[in-house]
Structure 1
């Protein structure tokens, strides 16, 4: 057994791009020469589509996907067993370029021209919703993660209290309930006047959060100061900043894309708002080190929330790697700091292949959809359970309180990403105490 395996499990820290390509080529040659392979016996290939934003304004969500896909392909190189057969697997990944229209077009191409058996879609409504809609229309099973489930479910036409209109599409991960629980837990760690200035964009995320999260926070005694929805691409936030200053808000909460938050936060600093902020809680932006580093000193002590962290105590069911192994392997391979998207994208692959394994026939779209509807498994990001969701087609998941702090002197990277609370998954260890944005 070579050095890329440890205790029978794949070791990502030993995988370089060159060795991955070499081993893949060698493996393919060996299969071509062998007439006794399981592939030859079954004659089947499973095709899995994987759509994410790798470039454009949402590129932070896709930055680590190449590494994760390399791990998955390596784990699947010798075949995948499901329903008593061994299949060769082809993962066809596509970049939406952060464009919802392109996401839908890519999905239709994978469905109509590539003949995929399962679609996997990850990160933000701009990616997931158009892909899910294309799959629902075509009768292709689709699994997704990394967006509030309410924006996926209700944002696509489902009605509260009515049966699910979806047969083919399934989504797992955090929702408004998890954000509410986490934010209350996080915000109670520091004494404030409980006045919250919110910046919700006019998009699927922002509208779902305004309709569902803000009322829950108000019931918990927080005063919500909402200047109204803003349009993505706004460059002047003076009116919102003036309102927040006038109302004396000490907590700021938003769900912006990175360019919008960068513009707002720099203007907030120039106009004196940041001096009164004790907690700056930023979602969607604020998830990745590159976005925070771009803010310079204004990025230190921004609060965030993580749908995955390397401290999560779970292993990947597909590759066998732990959270620390995944993060360390990525840093070694890329030279960049790990991000929470590593575990999220790998968890999607974990869950997707568990569904294929559980299906009575992995080549039957009906069978795979049925397997998704009853899927109950544990991924590197924690539990996925479609038998106990708040609505059909949804399995809720954790999101935990975190904060970006200045890394200790001598650290490889300027920022450290620490866990400050764990209300939605007590198995995740808390690593640091939340500090005020202004220290």
Structure 2
């Protein structure tokens, strides 16, 4: 017998510039809604429904969406992913309203320091799983070593906004870890996003003799950089790019096909995991997504599925699933094997963060798709064998 309805809410960028990132979470909610209809907590069955709201890729709209989920849908927990401004807006609103939030696809340092929080004073309501800027540096430096000697300089193409500020921060992960590689880092300073020209950065990189570029640029900005670099005689052998280049390039950036772009991989159909809900594998989830949407699988797909897994687990193990404080406490002690890998909030770098490992990938001309993401390094997850060698631009 059911003794009360529970609700899992989700704030999703269904429209706006982040909509491609939001597609996997929209898909997962639609996929799981007919199957995840209840939870059992201490022998008691509770009806369960999933409710979503569109953030429109806008922080102000995202805040209103949280209010709607909490006040109108009576959500016990809110899920979200992605967006350097939208994700913090959702998490901060949940913190203000006193509702548990679980988020992902955002380096944990950006999640913590981007919200002006000292890890020694943990959040009360908001939890996150992802990787760190130091983990990105580890994967990228592994690829740099395959490309050039340790003495070879690396050009840093970083914007003047939150991603760039965090990447160049002397203590918050990427810069100090990358510096340990021995590669001199050439940082010409931040550029505004979207960019209009990269001429000054290109001049600095040429003067320093850089053959490797590292960046977190949007694909449009990176395409502009690559085009202007070619025009000015700068031809990097390797570009390591996080953020938007973890997703397949669109036709607007088709001139990146010969750029030798490598990126981080946090989830793929080849990852050796299973869902705690129903045993679904990454391969099956990716295949289902492609069959039903006609679109290529995206890395956030597995993490979106894991968001729902964590929420269901928290509601199933909380002392009182109808009490939001009890649900938040359940998240804080969660150790769960998911389709995105094992998540452990009891041993993260801060009390509110669980880590997932990264491997290195590179976009290659594809068969089923115009470009396929090949795994090229695996030091952090040796269970996945590389399926290609790292290739360099000529």
- Choose which of 392, 409, 413 in structure 1 pairs with 2:369: 413
Q: Which residue of 2 aligns with 1:218?
A: 179
Q: Which residue of 2 aligns with 1:235?
A: 196
Aligned mates of 2:303, 2:152 — CA distance in 1 = 32
Aligned mates of 2:30, 2:220 — CA distance in 1 = 29
How large is the RMSD of aligned CA atoms in angstroms? 1.8
**Aligned pair in 2 of structure 1 residues 104, 76: CA closer, same or farther (>3 Å)?**
same
Q: Which residue of 2 aligns with 1:199?
A: 157
**Aligned pair in 2 of structure 1 residues 432, 236: CA closer, same or farther (>3 Å)?**
same
**Aligned pair in 2 of structure 1 residues 312, 170: CA closer, same or farther (>3 Å)?**
same
Q: Which residue of 2 aligns with 1:396?
A: 355
Q: Which residue of 1 aligns with 2:211?
A: 250
- Choose which of 382, 389, 392 in structure 2 pairs with 1:426: 382
Aligned mates of 1:203, 1:92 — CA distance in 2 = 32
**Aligned pair in 2 of structure 1 residues 261, 346: CA closer, same or farther (>3 Å)?**
same
Q: Which residue of 2 aligns with 1:69?
A: 29
1:264 paired with 2:264, answer no
Q: Which residue of 2 aligns with 1:169?
A: 126
Q: 2:156, 2:187 within 8 Å by CA — same for their partners in 1?
A: yes
Alignment of 1:104-143 (within 5 A): 104-143=63-102
1:93 paired with 2:49, answer no
TM-score between both structures, scaled by the size of structure 1:
0.84
- Choose which of 119, 126, 146 in structure 2 pairs with 1:189: 146
**Aligned pair in 2 of structure 1 residues 88, 299: CA closer, same or farther (>3 Å)?**
farther
Q: Which residue of 2 aligns with 1:34?
A: none
1:296 paired with 2:254, answer yes
Please state how far the C-alpha of 1:290 moved relative to its aligned partner.
3.8
Please state how far the C-alpha of 1:355 moved relative to its aligned partner.
1.6
1:51 paired with 2:23, answer no
Aligned mates of 1:303, 1:427 — CA distance in 2 = 20
Q: Which residue of 1 aligns with 2:285?
A: 326
**CA offset digits 1:161-192 (Å, max 9, x no partner):** x332x111111110122112211222222235
Q: 2:105, 2:130 within 8 Å by CA — same for their partners in 1?
A: yes
Q: 2:199, 2:228 within 8 Å by CA — same for their partners in 1?
A: yes
Please state how far the C-alpha of 1:121 moved relative to its aligned partner.
1.2
Please state how far the C-alpha of 1:207 moved relative to its aligned partner.
1.8
Aligned mates of 2:231, 2:244 — CA distance in 1 = 20
Number of residue pairs matched? 389
**CA offset digits 1:272-316 (Å, max 9, x no partner):** 32x2x111111112111244x542252243111111111100011
Aligned mates of 1:351, 1:135 — CA distance in 2 = 17
Q: Which residue of 2 aligns with 1:29?
A: none
Q: Which residue of 2 aligns with 1:31?
A: none
Aligned mates of 2:306, 2:228 — CA distance in 1 = 37
Aligned mates of 1:177, 1:297 — CA distance in 2 = 30
Please state how far the C-alpha of 1:242 moved relative to its aligned partner.
1.9
TM-score between both structures, scaled by the size of structure 2:
0.93
SS of the residue aligned with 1:321? coil
Please state how far the C-alpha of 1:152 moved relative to its aligned partner.
0.6
- Choose which of 250, 264, 282 in structure 1 pairs with 2:241: 282
Moved over 6 A (4+): none
Aligned mates of 2:197, 2:58 — CA distance in 1 = 23
Structure exhibiting the larger radius of gyration computed from Cα positions:
1
Q: 2:218, 2:244 within 8 Å by CA — same for their partners in 1?
A: yes
Gaps of 5+ in 1: 1-37
**Aligned pair in 2 of structure 1 residues 266, 309: CA closer, same or farther (>3 Å)?**
same
**CA offset digits 1:388-409 (Å, max 9, x no partner):** 11111111211211000112xx
SS of the residue aligned with 2:167? helix
Q: 1:52, 1:94 within 8 Å by CA — same for their partners in 2?
A: yes
Q: Which residue of 2 aligns with 1:208?
A: 166
Gaps of 5+ in 2: none
